Amino acid sequence: MRDRVLGSLLGVAAVEALLEGRNGCMVGEIGGDLRCTSLEETWQKKKPPLDENLLRIFSFLSE
């Protein structure tokens, strides 16, 4: 259920951002708040490595 609610919230926030004239950004949840982050900032940030257990699950499910 949480995924569907979050998807709806992000979708609405993305449409609102476009209606406000903001573009070139990605809507996401940060610390419980919905924020629009510039695409350039998302490319430049180093992401933490994925959890090894998740990688194992992804590999298993993709077969």
For every residue of 11-31, DSSP letters joined together read HHHHHHHHHTT--SEEEEEET
For the segment 8-19, what is each residue's pLDDT rounded down to a tens digit? Answer: 999 999 999 999
Residue 33 has pLDDT above 90, yes or no: yes
Half-sphere exposure of 15 (CA within 13 A, CB side): 5
Instruction: Say whether pTM exceeds 0.75.
Output: no
Which H helix or E strand runs over 34?
strand 33-38
**Owner of token pair 């949840």:** 29
Backbone angles phi and psi of 42, in degrees to 5:
-70, -35
Query: What pLDDT was estimated at residue 37?
Result: 93
